[in-house]
Structure formats: C-alpha cells, structure tokens
C-alpha cells in the first residue's frame, strides 16, 4: 500500500508575470510574459506528495468560478482524491505573482474560497484524516482551521507537519504541542521565534527556541544553503544540490510534499530531507508552481552537477 498523505489547505490560481525585476512602490514595469498556473501552497504540496510517490487526499475549498474547476481538475489529473474539496459560491483563491530575471518572486494572495475552510468542514471529513499516515497544514486558510486540524491530527495519532507559510507573526502558543515537524523558511522562522535568521548559527538558535515552544522537530529551509534539522538533541545541516534556478515559486512546497511522501513511505528523516531537497532543487529549474514539481523518476534520475 502506498503511504497516505492528507493535505489540508489552500488552492489558488496563480496569475504570473515575468519582469526584469520586481517593481518598486508606485512604479509600472513592462512585463515579458503572463500565464495562469495552478497553485496554492496546499495544492502544490498535494501535487508534490502525489508525484513523489504518496497516495494523497486534499481537504480544501474552491470557488464556483472557472478557476475552481481548473484547480480541481489539476489535482484529479495527478490521481489526488478530491472528495474533500468543497465548492463554495464566489471566487476561488488567487495569487498575483511577479518573477524577476534573478528567479526571485513577490506574491500577493487573495484568499477567496480558501477563507471558507472552517473547522466544521474539517470535522465533516474526519474519515479522510483518519486514513492518513501524515497530515500537512500551511497558513493560507483561517487560523482557527489550522489550529483545529493540527489538534485533530494529534488526537488521531498521525504524524503532523506544519509549514507555517506565509507567516509574519508568532503562532498561537497552543499549536506547538500538536506539531511533529515544523518546516519554516528563514523569514518564517524569524517571525515565529522573534529572532533574526540569516545564517546557520542563527537558524540553530531559532530552531532551539521553536523546540522550546513545544514543536517536536524543526526543519528550517535555507534556500540555496540547504536546510537545518533540529530535534532538541542536536542539529544537522543538509547542503542543497546546486542547480541553475529560473523560478523559485513552490520550491518550499515541493520540499514539504517530498519530505512528507518519503517519511510516510518509511524513509528516515535524513533520507526524507535529502529526497525533498533534490525535488525542490529540480523544481527551481522549471517555471511555475505545479508545472515545476518533479516526478519520482525525475528525482531518482537526478545527478548533482
Ligand atoms: O508557495 C507558492 C504558492 O504561494 C503559489 O502557488 C501561490 O499560489 C501562493 O500560495
């Protein structure tokens, strides 16, 4: 039986422009291209886990608009179980994304239907959560829902992952005890811990604080510098495979989905981190959110340059 991953979170249609650089306040730039691409941190993590070997169910909400159907169809095409995706009247979530010539991006999201994912909806799909080996949450749906989902996962005895993205402030203190793996990037780790994170040493200090707050284990993703694993007994640094990046959108999502799929399939934490890192490295060599996410055979064929 393939390992079962349940993702609770957002689905967004990404409206993506490429421009030479990110615009400054009040500035108009001439863009080079425009595309609509299926995204949303939750849906991207679901696609990553599915392409990378897990059986996946997605719990979320889409709007009654055309984007909603496209977002659902994109997941169905990956054999992701969409029975727990509810359709609500109104607009689907969207993300306005600018990607510059240095492969960096700036994103503004409008929650739309993602805002309708309430704790009551999670309770309606309790049987989906019960079937999970690993449950993944992020922060593009209401906080009350994330807190509830984490606690349900803990009560059911599942492995619970929180990717606290996007985060600009500390998490509610009572969430931490329900989190097995907290996976922030540098800026999210800084927002959660209240400490600067700009080096391996400062990442270690922040990870220690986050474990002190109650998180089981912490993996801080550090972009091209790899990631830092902390479990309260020590630290391990995992350098990232070096690749030529064209678009970093969904790299973090690919890492989280890949890590979850590998962990659920019985790989060790270290193996799952390395696997997630290769998947994320491959994703930055391609444009877009879901289109950039590699398959299991892509990852198996990867050879570091
Ligand atoms: O992490 C990348 C994702 O963030 C994009 O797909 C966009 O939808 C935003 O949610």
Has 41 been labeled as part of a binding site?
Answer: yes
Measuring from atom 8 of ligand 1, which residue has the nearest CA? Answer: 40
Has 114 been labeled as part of a binding site?
Answer: no
Q: How far is the CA of 141 from the centre of ligand 1 (A)?
A: 12
pLDDT tens-digit profile of 264-275? 999 999 999 999
Output DSSP code: residue 15: E
Burial readout 20-55 (b: 16 or more C-beta within 10 A, e: otherwise): eeeeeeeeeeeeeeeeebbbbbbbbbbbbbbbbbbb
Has 267 been labeled as part of a binding site?
Answer: no
Confidence of residue 280 (pLDDT cuts 50, 70, 90): very high
CA 100 to chain centre: 21
Mean pLDDT of 242-270: 97
| pLDDT at residue 303, rounded to an integer | 85
94 Cβ inside 6 Å of ligand 1:
no
For residue 172, pLDDT beyond 90: yes
Mean pLDDT of 142-159: 98
Has 100 been labeled as part of a binding site?
Answer: no
- Whole-Å CA distances, 189 to 1, 160, 207, 287: 35, 18, 8, 26
pLDDT tens-digit profile of 8-26? 999 999 999 999 999 999 9
Please list the active-site residues: 253
Q: How far is the CA of 232 from the centre of ligand 1 (A)?
A: 30
253 Cβ inside 6 Å of ligand 1:
yes
Q: Closest ligand 1 atom, CA of 44? A: 6
Measuring from atom 2 of ligand 1, which residue has the nearest CA? Answer: 250
* Ligand 1 pocket mutation, candidates 35, 250, 290, criterion most atoms within 8 A of CB: 250
**Domain architecture of the chain: domains with CATH:** 4-10+41-91+114-294 (3.40.1190.20)
| pLDDT at residue 168, rounded to an integer | 82
């Amino acid at each position: 039986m393939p390992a079962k991953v349940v993702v609770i979170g957002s689905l967004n249609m990404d409206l993506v422009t490429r421009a030479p650089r990110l615009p400054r306040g009040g500035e108009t730039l001439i863009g080079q291209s425009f595309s609509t691409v299926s995204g949303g941190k939750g849906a991207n993590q679901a696609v990553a886990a599915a392409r990378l070997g897990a059986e996946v169910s997605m719990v979320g909400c889409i709007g009654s608009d055309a984007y909603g159907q496209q977002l659902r169809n994109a997941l169905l095409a990956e054999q992701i179980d969409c029975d727990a995706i509810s359709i609500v009247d109104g607009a689907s979530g969207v993300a306005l994304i600018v990607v510059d010539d240095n492969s960096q991006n700036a994103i503004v999201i409008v929650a739309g239907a993602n805002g309708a994912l309430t704790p009551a909806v999670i309770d309606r799909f309790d049987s989906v959560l019960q079937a999970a080996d690993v449950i993944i949450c992020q922060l593009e749906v209401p906080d009350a829902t994330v807190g509830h989902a984490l606690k349900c996962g803990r009560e059911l005895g599942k492995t619970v992952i929180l990717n606290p993205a996007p985060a600009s402030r500390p998490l509610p203190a009572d969430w931490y005890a329900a989190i097995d793996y907290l996976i922030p990037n540098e800026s999210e780790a800084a927002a959660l811990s209240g400490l600067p994170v700009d080096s391996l040493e400062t990442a270690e200090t922040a990870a220690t604080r986050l474990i002190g707050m109650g998180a089981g284990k912490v993996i801080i993703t550090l972009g091209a510098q790899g990631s830092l694993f902390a479990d309260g007994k020590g630290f391990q640094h995992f350098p990232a495979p070096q690749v030529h990046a064209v678009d970093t959108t969904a790299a973090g999502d690919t890492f989280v989905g890949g890590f979850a799929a590998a962990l659920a399939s019985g790989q060790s934490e270290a193996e799952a981190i390395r696997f997630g890192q290769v998947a994320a490295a491959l994703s930055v060599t391609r444009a877009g959110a879901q289109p950039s996410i590699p398959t299991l055979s892509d990852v198996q064929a990867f050879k570091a340059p």
